[in-house]
Structures are given as C-alpha cells and as structure tokens.
C-alpha cells in the first residue's frame, strides 16, 4: 500500500489515519472496541457513525474476524460544555 493511502483519514472527528488503525490491528486489536481503545477512533462527535463501517472493513480484511462477528461498541452521547445559565431559568424581579 502506498504511503499516501496510509495517511487517508478514517476517523474525521479524531483525525485518525488508516496507518494508525492498521497499527492498532497489528498490535492485537480484533474488535472495533479494541481499535477504539488504542486509537480513539470513534470517540468524536459522531461516536463512530462515520468511521465504524470503514474500521469494520479493515478488521475483516486483516483476517482478525469476519465482519458479521464485529458488533458496534456501546455509543455514548458526546459531552459538551454549557454555562449554568442555560439550565437555570432566570426569575423576573
């Protein structure tokens, strides 16, 4: 695979490249969660909705597991900062 292909961004939210995902797989990741732990791919605002399919394909192509056996990790809503005033209704004097 060419170097340019290795630098293609797979996870846009966390800016994780194909090279980083393949390194995680070479390091022993056999599941989407394993890749996520090693690279933080899938932990951005979209929670893996954009990159999960590509990571699944990469795992299946590597021979780690068949794509049908790769279950998505638990999704959690992203945490965003908010000012207290957004939660408290101000009383009129």
pLDDT band, very low/low/confident/very high, at 20 (cuts 50, 70, 90) = very high
2 or 59: which leads in pLDDT: 59
Cβ neighbours of 39 (radius 10 Å): 22
Structural domains of the chain in order of their starting residue, each with its CATH number = 3-86 (1.10.10.1100)
Cβ atoms of 18 and 10 within 8 Å: the answer is yes
Q: What is the pLDDT of residues 24-78, one digit of tens each?
A: 999 999 988 899 999 999 888 888 888 999 999 999 998 877 777 777 666 666 5
For residues 55 and 37, give the distance between their C-alpha atoms in angstroms, rounded to a whole number: 13
pLDDT of residue 75: 60
Q: Which helix (H) or strand (E) holds 11?
A: strand 9-11
18 or 76, higher pLDDT = 18
Can you give the pLDDT at residue 66? 75
């Amino acid at each position: 695979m060419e170097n340019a292909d290795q630098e293609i961004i797979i996870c846009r939210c966390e800016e994780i490249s194909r090279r980083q995902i393949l390194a995680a797989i070479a390091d022993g990741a056999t599941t989407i969660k394993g890749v996520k732990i090693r690279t933080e791919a899938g932990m951005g605002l979209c929670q893996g909705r954009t990159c999960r399919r590509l990571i699944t394909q990469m795992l299946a192509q590597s021979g780690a597991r068949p794509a049908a056996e790769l279950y998505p990790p638990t999704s959690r809503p992203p945490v965003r900062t908010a000012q207290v005033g957004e939660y408290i209704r101000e009383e009129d004097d």
